[in-house]
Amino acid sequence: AQKVTQAQTEISVVEKEDVTLDCVYETRDTTYYLFWYKQPPSGELVFLIRRNSFDEQNEISGRYSWNFQKSTSSFNFTITASQVVDSAVYFCALRGGYSTLTFGKGTMLLVSP
């Protein structure tokens, strides 16, 4: 069975602060894929990143960065210099082998001016 845990239900920061969203996963698959999605109030899930289990390189895209650590089964997401437009619910998701895409419960990020 697969499981994704996002322990932070809601995070509030002030604009320009850095913020890290935590994601811990469980899977028995040796090959698996991790994803982050952003869901603004409109409801559409916006794809942010996909990471393969055999590639532990961290990735940076603009103000976004991801830290993947197989040793701790974590795939954390950091937003540097947060902006009001970053306010949304962020979901971490996992898929391995022939299993289905499993989502965490999401972390609501509120960035105030």
Partner 1 sequence: DAGVTQSPTHLIKTRGQQVTLRCSPKSGHDTVSWYQQALGQGPQFIFQYYEEEERQRGNFPDRFSGHQFPNYSSELNVNALLLGDSALYLCASSWGGGAQETQYFGPGTRLLVL
- Candidates 8, 11, 24, 33; binder of partner 1 (CB under 8 A) is 33
Q: Report residue 36 as tokens.
A: 């982050």
Binders in 62-81 for partner 1, by CB under 8 A: none
DSSP tag of 100: P
Half-sphere exposure of 69 (CA within 13 A, CB side): 9
Using CB under 8 A, count the residues that bind partner 1: 28
Beta bridge pairs of residue 46: 38
Contact between 43 and partner 1 by CB under 8 A: the answer reads yes
Binders in 94-113 for partner 1, by CB under 8 A: 95-106
Q: Compute CA distances 102 → 2, 11, 15, 108, whole Å.
A: 7, 22, 31, 18
- Candidates 7, 15, 16, 31; binder of partner 1 (CB under 8 A) is 31
Contacts with partner 1 by CB under 8 A lie at 4, 31-33, 35, 37, 42-47, 50, 52, 91, 93, 95-106
